[in-house]
């Protein structure tokens, strides 16, 4: 089945879906403009097997808009605009809808982040509206624990109504059949369920909540049964980056029926700030990249893997913070990503366009295709270490520059 995923006078980009594959092509007098876009998306969509592929639907990952969908059409439209104008847009926006959480994770990146007063439903809707106006195609809701907000279904429903890809994180403690059905009905696309270890005792110890492993895995199963795209989200540490643990995590995902495993490097930030020497080595990081490549080979079956060491490497998209992705704290502060405790201002005081312009003008966020900035020792020396230990976070970036 063939779909037109982008149309502009003189340019049409189409996607043809097969039982287990996809093909892209550009047509029209301006098809040369579409050529680099076709090459880029083909590199990712054709290099590895999809998570879901039918003649009606193609899903490479729970992090990427499905084909066909309004979100994917917007993504392609954005790439055309970026090529023609040379200007970046906030393609992905994540919002911490609350700072409240029943867990006390040993590596929580939200430690010290101002969470009050929480953004209201109307304020979150305004962020969504402003983002869509600028071209945002993906909204992620995290926290804290988003399910502690009674209006989380309204938030999801509103984001869904804009034709965006909608993703939510959860620790799984409150996830059950009823909640999963409500999330599906609200329009949630992808549910990221945090599983920090495939082993019950270790996971409970990391989260400091006894029994949360059983709750989270049962909740993930409920989400799968409700028809949600489910990913097990794992923070990769030195102690769980070995191949056996990764294989066991993948096996757990398969047992639950989850479509994906997301692997994100632990970062020396928040509660892990003083443990810079206890982050992944280059060798350990490369291990997750090889795991990503091997599991996602064409011809294989079962859950896919999304290793951010691969996806955000300089050879691929590079660090997305402040380039494609921005994050809002529960109190409305804009930070480049959820792991960077530096703010460029507050959405209650400044429009998204002005905040984005401020980020894009900053010298650190002009470079493209650089590695994760929070892992960059020079960036940490310039911007993380100078933050006063007793400072309220996120810390205004201009104050760092005045030191």
Same domain, 164 and 214: yes
Residues 23 and 109 in one domain: no
pLDDT of residue 399: 93
Residue 279: what pLDDT?
94
> Does residue 158 share a domain with residue 55?
no
Q: Please indicate, yes or no, whether the overall pTM of this predicted structure exceeds 0.85.
A: yes
Per-residue pLDDT, 312: 86
Residues 109 and 143 both lie in one domain: yes
Query: Based on the domain organization, do 128 and 269 belong to the same domain?
Result: yes
Q: Which domain holds residue 31?
A: 2-85
Q: Are residues 62 and 142 in the same domain?
A: no
Enumerate residues 6+ apart whose C-beta is below 8 A from 77: 6, 8, 135
* CATH number, domain containing residue 243: 3.20.20.70
Final residue of a structural domain among 312, 347, 376? 312
Taking only the tens place, the pLDDT of each residue in 174-206 is 999 999 999 999 999 999 999 999 999 999 999
Query: Is the residue at 120 inside a domain?
Result: yes
Inside any domain, residue 114:
yes
Q: Read off the pLDDT of each residue in 76-86 and give the average, rounded to a whole number.
A: 86
Same domain, 66 and 96: no
Percentage of residues in the chain with pLDDT exceeding 90? 77
Same structural domain, 60 and 177: no
* Domains identified in the chain, total number: 2
Q: What is the pLDDT of residues 365-392, one digit of tens each?
A: 987 778 899 999 999 999 999 999 999 9
């Amino acid at each position: 089945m063939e779909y037109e995923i982008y149309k502009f006078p003189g340019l049409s980009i189409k996607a043809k879906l097969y039982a287990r594959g996809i093909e892209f092509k550009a047509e029209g007098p301006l098809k040369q403009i579409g050529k680099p876009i076709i090459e880029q998306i083909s590199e990712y969509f054709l290099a590895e097997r999809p998570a879901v592929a039918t003649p009606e639907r193609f899903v490479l990952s729970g992090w990427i808009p499905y084909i066909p969908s309004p979100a994917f059409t917007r993504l392609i439209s954005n790439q055309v605009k970026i090529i023609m104008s040379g200007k970046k847009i906030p393609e992905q926006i994540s919002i911490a809808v609350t700072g409240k959480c029943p867990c006390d994770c040993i590596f929580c990146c939200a430690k010290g982040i101002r969470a009050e007063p929480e953004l209201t439903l109307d304020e979150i809707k305004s962020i969504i509206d402003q983002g869509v106006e600028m071209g945002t195609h993906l909204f992620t809701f995290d926290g804290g624990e988003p399910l502690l907000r009674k209006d989380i279904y309204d938030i999801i429903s509103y984001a869904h109504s804009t034709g965006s890809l909608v993703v939510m994180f959860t620790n799984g403690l409150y996830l059950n059949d009823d909640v999963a059905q409500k999330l599906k009905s609200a329009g949630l696309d992808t549910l990221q369920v945090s599983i920090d270890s495939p082993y019950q005792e270790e996971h409970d110890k990391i989260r400091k909540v006894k029994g949360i492993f059983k709750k989270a895995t049962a909740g993930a199963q409920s989400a799968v049964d409700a028809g949600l795209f489910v990913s097990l989200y794992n923070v990769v540490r030195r102690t769980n980056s070995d191949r056996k643990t990764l294989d066991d995590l993948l096996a757990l995902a398969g047992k639950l029926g989850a479509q994906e495993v997301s692997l994100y490097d632990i970062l020396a930030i928040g509660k892990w700030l003083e443990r810079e020497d206890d982050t992944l080595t280059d060798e350990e990081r490369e291990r997750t990249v090889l795991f990503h490549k091997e599991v996602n080979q064409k011809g294989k079956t079962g859950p896919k893997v999304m290793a951010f060491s691969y996806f955000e490497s300089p050879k691929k998209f590079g660090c997305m913070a402040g380039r494609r992705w921005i994050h809002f704290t529960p109190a409305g502060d804009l930070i480049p990503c959820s792991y960077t405790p530096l703010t460029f201002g507050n959405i209650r005081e400044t429009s998204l366009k002005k905040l984005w312009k401020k980020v894009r003008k900053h010298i650190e966020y002009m470079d493209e295709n650089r590695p994760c900035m929070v892992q960059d020792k020079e960036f940490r020396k310039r911007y993380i270490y100078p933050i006063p230990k007793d400072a309220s976070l996120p810390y205004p970036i201009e104050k760092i520059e005045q030191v």
